[in-house]
Chain A
């Protein structure tokens, strides 16, 4: 029984079909990557799991419990947190307020404080900028905030949508080091990336999506040496 199990989901935006039967699994403590070009359905897969764009057919289960048609806010309560595409930090709120909102559904205030310190240890930059408005920070800092905010929900599964988007290579490297660290601490992660190099480094397995379907799946190391993958996604 897989921890997070997506079975044959079909998702639409209005009449346009974005996912044409995606199935995937993520085991507890694992880091799995979805790679693929623009429009392949990577973000839509994450949006279907988190309930922002619910799947029309198919099922999604977390730890044996079906969550396919729950509203997004309840899926968060079940233990799935997402750092969304484009980061979506609350621009006019401070870093600290953003992080506190990440823990919106939690009542265990002492544990929340512990997790806040943990996020600050993972991202010292956020600690320095606690009182700064999110909208005044750089893209990379906002990405750290979005990941930190998702961690504040104390999730069972962390969904990360393109953490490298619009961020300098140096900062991307730093963020990926932190993602690897979070995974080593035991967090289950489902990662989406267009820029596959870093993503294949931190993940154990990967799925390659093409036009709303799974085209290939294998261990990250194996995929890295696959000539088709190298040509299409690794730029080598």
Chain B
């Protein structure tokens, strides 16, 4: 009876907060592109430079998106940040670069061997990184599944360092060149004055089919349903007859395979690889996953693309030395407005 006198809906202060949350977030995301768009229009009278930033940003961001999915999938199912995931990505680059060198492919190779060489490198990197990720889970995380959450977190950091040192032993401490098979910086075509390079096309051609296959697998297949069920309630999943251990292994396999694919794209795009790329790349991809809302697949992709774009604008116009600060500045702002991330989903932990 008392409840009837209380007006319906949230109080005004709450509503204002929600408004700031929704619109503030959009405003924050648009600061840089709008600012530079105005600048371009006044200086040049067109948006070509911003368009080029966008293209390069999206194709770079595709790499982060692929790696970020691995963080988000694993977090969704075992609520663990797999700190070794960046190194899985690095190993993917190393595997594909080694295969390309072993096959004897160079800049001057004909198109057909390059195509099949890249396809083989993609498959081998995906299989290698995927298997490695499964092994890491088996050795370092599974025995600790019922241990306090900090224990597997520390073994994850440990696995990360171990793999970094594997990379250091394998290719040495310096940046290693990779044969520039695709002539990565070569302009393939231009759209409205915006140049599209070979590497941009590779990035899109590899990433989009992988994303489509992955999301339809998770949403539609029987095993994908088992993955989602396990992520939401492992105990109920067991009552359905789902083997939770196998499902978790499958999740690590998928995450690792995407990181391996990202490793190949990175090697072809940057044409250099080194043992530390997994640490920096992993950190950026992890940021993308958190920005998009950890546990959410589409969020990871969105976060990756946004970060790629921010990085590109900053590198191109502000200075590379500022880029990390700007990326993480964005992360902090987004988190303040929306602590669960852009497409944040409720996880078991958060309720």
Report A's interface with B, CB cutoff 8 A: 50-52, 71-74, 76-77, 81-82, 84, 88-93, 97, 100-102, 104-105, 149-150, 153
Chain B interface: which size bin? 10 to 19
Q: Flag if A101 contacts B240 (CB, 8 Å).
A: yes
Q: Which of B222, B229, B239, B345 lies in contact with A81, CB distance below 8 A?
A: B239
B340 within 8 A of A: no
Q: Which of A72, A91, A93, A100 lies in contact with B239, CB distance below 8 A?
A: A72
Q: Which of B232, B238, B346 lies in contact with A72, CB distance below 8 A?
A: B238
Interface mask (B225-258 → A, CB under 8 Å = 1, otherwise 0): 1101100110111111111100000000000000
Q: Flag if A97 contacts B225 (CB, 8 Å).
A: yes
- Minimum-distance CB pairs A-B, first 6: A105-B241, A76-B241, A88-B236, A72-B238, A104-B240, A90-B232
Cα–Cα, bound, A84→B234 (Å) = 13
Q: Which of B225, B235, B242, B345 lies in contact with A52, CB distance below 8 A?
A: B235
Main secondary structure of the interface of B (DSSP, over half): helix
Q: Flag if B242 contacts A88 (CB, 8 Å).
A: no
Give the nearest-CB partner of A146 in chain B.
B236
Q: Flag if A73 contacts B232 (CB, 8 Å).
A: no
Cα–Cα, bound, A97→B236 (Å) = 14
Q: Return chain B residues, CB-CB under 8 Å to A76.
A: 238-241
Q: Which of A77, A84, A88 lies in contact with B241, CB distance below 8 A?
A: A77
Q: Flag if B225 contacts A100 (CB, 8 Å).
A: yes
Interface mask (B321-351 → A, CB under 8 Å = 1, otherwise 0): 0000000000000000000000001100000
Q: Flag if B233 contacts A90 (CB, 8 Å).
A: yes
Q: Return chain A residues, CB-CB under 8 Å to B241.
A: 73-74, 76-77, 104-105, 153
Minimum Cβ distance to chain A for residue B108 (Å): 52
Q: Flag if A92 contacts B345 (CB, 8 Å).
A: yes
Q: Flag if A73 contacts B233 (CB, 8 Å).
A: no
Q: Return chain B residues, CB-CB under 8 Å to A93.
A: 228-229, 232
Q: Flag if B242 contacts A92 (CB, 8 Å).
A: no
Q: Evaluate whether A101 and B225 lie within 8 angstroms (CB atoms) in the complex, with A73-B242, A92-B345 already known.
A: yes
Q: Evaluate whether A50 and B239 lie within 8 angstroms (CB atoms) in the complex, with A73-B244, A92-B345, A101-B225 already known.
A: yes
Cα–Cα, bound, A55→B232 (Å) = 26
Q: Flag if A88 contacts B233 (CB, 8 Å).
A: yes
Q: Evaluate whether A52 and B238 lie within 8 angstroms (CB atoms) in the complex, with A73-B243, A92-B345, A101-B225 already known.
A: yes
Minimum Cβ distance to chain A for residue B148 (Å): 14
> Which of B222, B228, B238, B241: most chain A Cβ within 10 A?
B241
Cα–Cα, bound, A92→B232 (Å) = 8
Give the nearest-CB partner of B228 in chain A.
A93
Q: Return chain B residues, CB-CB under 8 Å to A101.
A: 225-226, 229, 237, 240, 242
Q: Return chain B residues, CB-CB under 8 Å to A89.
A: 236
Minimum Cβ distance to chain B for residue A25 (Å): 23
Minimum Cβ distance to chain A for residue B246 (Å): 9
Interface mask (B257-268 → A, CB under 8 Å = 1, otherwise 0): 000000000000
Q: Return chain B residues, CB-CB under 8 Å to A50.
A: 239
Q: Return chain A residues, CB-CB under 8 Å to B243.
A: 71, 73
Cα–Cα, bound, A185→B252 (Å) = 44
Q: Evaluate whether A84 and B225 lie within 8 angstroms (CB atoms) in the complex, with A73-B244, A91-B232, A93-B232 already known.
A: no
Cα–Cα, bound, A86→B222 (Å) = 25
> Which of A76, A100, A101, A105: most chain B Cβ within 10 A?
A101
Give the nearest-CB partner of A77 in chain B.
B241
Q: Return chain B residues, CB-CB under 8 Å to A84.
A: 235-236, 239
Q: Flag if A104 contacts B222 (CB, 8 Å).
A: yes
> Which of B226, B232, B239: most chain A Cβ within 10 A?
B239
Q: Return chain A residues, CB-CB under 8 Å to B244.
A: 73
Q: Return chain B residues, CB-CB under 8 Å to A105.
A: 240-241
Cα–Cα, bound, A89→B229 (Å) = 9
Cα–Cα, bound, A126→B239 (Å) = 20
Cα–Cα, bound, A25→B198 (Å) = 71
Minimum Cβ distance to chain B for residue A73 (Å): 5
Q: Return chain A residues, CB-CB under 8 Å to B236.
A: 84, 88-90
Q: Flag if A52 contacts B239 (CB, 8 Å).
A: yes
Q: Return chain A residues, CB-CB under 8 Å to B345.
A: 92
Given contacts A73-B238, A81-B239, A90-B236, 15 further A-B contacts (CB under 8 A): A71-B238, A73-B244, A76-B238, A77-B241, A82-B239, A88-B235, A90-B232, A92-B346, A93-B232, A101-B225, A104-B240, A104-B241, A149-B240, A153-B240, A153-B241
Give the nearest-CB partner of A103 in chain B.
B240
Q: Return chain B residues, CB-CB under 8 Å to A149.
A: 240
Cα–Cα, bound, A73→B33 (Å) = 52
Cα–Cα, bound, A71→B249 (Å) = 17
Cα–Cα, bound, A102→B238 (Å) = 11
Q: Return chain A residues, CB-CB under 8 Å to B346.
A: 92
Minimum Cβ distance to chain A for residue B135 (Å): 22
Q: Flag if A104 contacts B232 (CB, 8 Å).
A: no
Give the nearest-CB partner of A159 in chain B.
B239
18 contacts between A and B (CB under 8 A): A51-B238, A71-B238, A72-B238, A73-B238, A73-B240, A73-B242, A76-B238, A76-B241, A84-B236, A84-B239, A88-B233, A90-B233, A92-B232, A100-B225, A101-B226, A101-B229, A101-B242, A102-B240
